[in-house]
């Protein structure tokens, strides 16, 4: 059983900053997310877009904002439980809480901050070839360098597919497959891909993937002529987008309004010890912005700190006062 | 704060938007699609996907001739549709609900071209 002071459920911007604040308060923190990468909506929906409404950043690429938040969090040695879907939340006799995961793992925390955003993301699946997942088929590109020099099939017509095609086409042999005849991605990126070395197959769908230990080829079907062709490939990047569902997080008995978790001014939910921040929470007048989520995350964690230690102040002191206290090792109860 | 499918979708129903919506909140009527304004997260993926320009942000429709679509999209969920006793409400996903098969009274009455 892993123990921590604060468990943050959701590794989007609000959750990552909540974890930073927990670290600044000297609390041990764990961050859990169903996605294998941090960043939540930013990573899933717009990693390459420029965000222009984060205080202090005139413009910051989504991916870079996530990277900076992870870096800011790093010195507090958080336990990162990515790729784990939190499914249950139980009260323990001593007032602590226990999160249960889809793989049977458990996490015990003194307080929980739910920063689940628009819900649990799952990649939209290819209609075929799922058996090659992790054996050439991937929904994420963790590091473009790993694909350098190989034959890569990128599937999709939106921003993420075109972003990957553009990023990879300079170091790999890229074929971009899209079922329609036009792309929905930013025109600038589409232009770069069309003018670049990538092979572009529009009006084509992936009929099946084949291979042995790993994927070696894909069969494409032309949606106009019906003809099929085989394309050799070492990697298939299925960038068909994501579907988010808040369902699981709304099963925890927290008071909700229009599928959002109701919080008070201290970001408390209806369950003791459970706080919420970011786009999953609601209150009169809430504006769904990253900037707002950051503030809510700080409010939630500072109130969680007082729940964990009633003699503490909600005000954490100024971050400029000196080095933050070292976080206790993760897994060691208070 | 939501996107709206306007009457530019009527009798076209391309459905490209449904492949892009990250929260599965675009529902199929009989002659057009409808966005659930409570479930919509305002991401704009549908606007880019729609080949007929029918998916637009409600704030872009304000003050235009197409503004009525905003209330009509909402009404698809908040009012009992023809042949139904209760409103659809917040179904929590269009895929599992399937095509609803009827339109709002306003849309149903639009002339066919």
| Strands A97-101 and A106-114, bridge-based pairing | antiparallel
- Distance to chain B for A242, nearest Cα, Å: 6
CA distance A161 to B19: 14
For residue B45, which residues of chain A lie inside 8 Å, CB to CB?
45, 158, 184, 241
The closest CB to that of A244, out of B20, B23, B48, belongs to: B23
Percent of chain A with pLDDT over 70: 96
Whether A332 shows a pLDDT value over 50: the answer reads: no
Would you state the pLDDT for residue A44? 83
Whether A232 shows a pLDDT value over 60: the answer reads: yes
Please report, in angstroms and rounded to a whole number, the separation of the first and last CA atoms in chain B.
31
Q: What is the mean pLDDT of residues A42-68?
A: 92
3-state secondary structure at position A316:
coil
Would you state the pLDDT for residue A12? 98
CA distance A195 to A189: 10
**Candidate from A42-51, A56-65, B83-92 with smallest mean pLDDT:** A42-51
What pLDDT, in 10s, does the model give residues A139-175?
888 788 999 999 999 999 988 899 999 999 999 999 9
A206, containing H or E segment: strand A204-211
Would you state the pLDDT for residue A331? 45
For residue B42, which residues of chain A lie inside 8 Å, CB to CB?
288
**Candidate from A83-97, A274-288, B35-49 with smallest mean pLDDT:** B35-49
Would you state the pLDDT for residue A248? 80
Q: What is the mean pLDDT of residues A300-324?
A: 88
Torsion sign over Cα A185, A190, A193, A194: positive
| More confident site: A143 or B53 | B53
Torsion sign over Cα A276, A279, A281, A282: positive
The closest CB to that of A45, out of B1, B22, B93, belongs to: B22
Would you state the pLDDT for residue A327? 54
- For chain B, the residue count is 113
Would you state the pLDDT for residue A257? 92
CB-CB under 8 Å, B38 with A258:
yes
Mean pLDDT of chain A: 92
Phi, psi of A190 (to 5 degrees): -60, -45
pTM over 0.80: no
Would you state the pLDDT for residue A324? 57
What pLDDT, in 10s, does the model give residues B74-85?
999 999 999 999
The closest CB to that of B23, out of A118, A185, A288, belongs to: A118
What pLDDT, in 10s, does the model give residues A93-109?
999 999 999 999 999 99
**Candidate from A223-227, B47-51, B85-89 with smallest mean pLDDT:** B47-51
Among A243, A250, A289, most B C-beta atoms within 10 A, so best to mutate, is A243
Q: What is the mean pLDDT of residues A178-187?
A: 86
**Is this complex's ipTM strictly greater than 0.90?**
no
Among A244, A250, A260, A292, most B C-beta atoms within 10 A, so best to mutate, is A244
Cross-strand partners of A201? A177
CB A269 within 8 A of CB A251: no
CA distance B97 to B113: 29
């Amino acid at each position: 059983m892993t123990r921590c002071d604060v468990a943050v459920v959701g590794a989007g911007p609000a959750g990552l900053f909540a974890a930073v604040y927990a670290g600044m308060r000297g609390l041990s923190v764990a961050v859990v997310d169903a996605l294998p990468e941090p960043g939540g909506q930013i990573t899933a929906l717009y990693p390459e877009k420029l965000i222009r409404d984060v205080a202090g950043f005139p413009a910051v690429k989504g991916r870079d904002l996530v990277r900076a938040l992870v870096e800011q969090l790093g010195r507090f040695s958080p336990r990162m439980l990515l790729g784990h879907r939190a499914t249950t939340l139980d009260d323990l006799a001593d007032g602590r809480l226990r999160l249960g995961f889809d793989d049977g793992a458990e996490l015990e925390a003194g307080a929980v901050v739910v920063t689940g955003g628009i819900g649990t993301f799952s990649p939209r699946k290819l209609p075929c070839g799922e058996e090659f997942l992790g054996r050439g088929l991937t929904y994420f590109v963790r590091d473009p360098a790993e694909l350098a020099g190989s034959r890569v099939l990128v599937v999709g017509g939106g921003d993420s597919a075109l972003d990957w095609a553009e990023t990879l086409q300079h170091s790999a042999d890229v074929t971009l497959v899209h079922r329609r005849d036009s792309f929905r991605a930013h025109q600038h990126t589409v232009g770069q891909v069309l003018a670049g070395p990538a092979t572009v197959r529009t009006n084509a769908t992936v009929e099946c993937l084949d291979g042995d230990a790993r994927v070696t080829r894909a069969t494409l079907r032309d949606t106009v002529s019906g003809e099929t062709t085989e394309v050799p490939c070492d990697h298939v990047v299925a960038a068909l987008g994501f579907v988010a569902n808040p369902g699981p997080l709304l099963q925890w008995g927290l008071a909700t309004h229009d599928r959002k978790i109701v919080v008070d001014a201290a970001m408390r939910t209806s369950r003791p010890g459970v706080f919420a921040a970011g786009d999953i929470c609601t209150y009169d007048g809430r504006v769904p912005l990253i900037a707002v989520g950051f503030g809510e995350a700080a409010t939630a964690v500072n109130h969680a700190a007082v729940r964990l230690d009633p003699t503490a102040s909600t005000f954490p002191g100024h971050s400029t006062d000196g080095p933050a206290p070292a976080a206790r090792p993760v897994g060691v109860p208070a | 704060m939501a996107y709206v499918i306007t009457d530019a979708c009527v009798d076209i129903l391309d459905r490209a938007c449904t492949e892009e919506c990250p929260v599965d909140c675009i529902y199929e009527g009989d002659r057009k699609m409808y966005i659930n304004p409570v479930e919509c997260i305002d991401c704009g993926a549908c606007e880019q996907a729609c080949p007929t320009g029918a998916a637009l942000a409600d704030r872009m429709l304000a003050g235009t001739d197409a503004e009525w679509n905003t209330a009509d999209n909402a009404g698809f969920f908040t009012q009992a549709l023809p042949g139904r006793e209760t409103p659809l409400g917040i179904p929590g996903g269009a895929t599992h609900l399937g095509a609803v098969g009827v339109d709002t009274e306003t849309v149903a009455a639009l002339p066919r071209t």
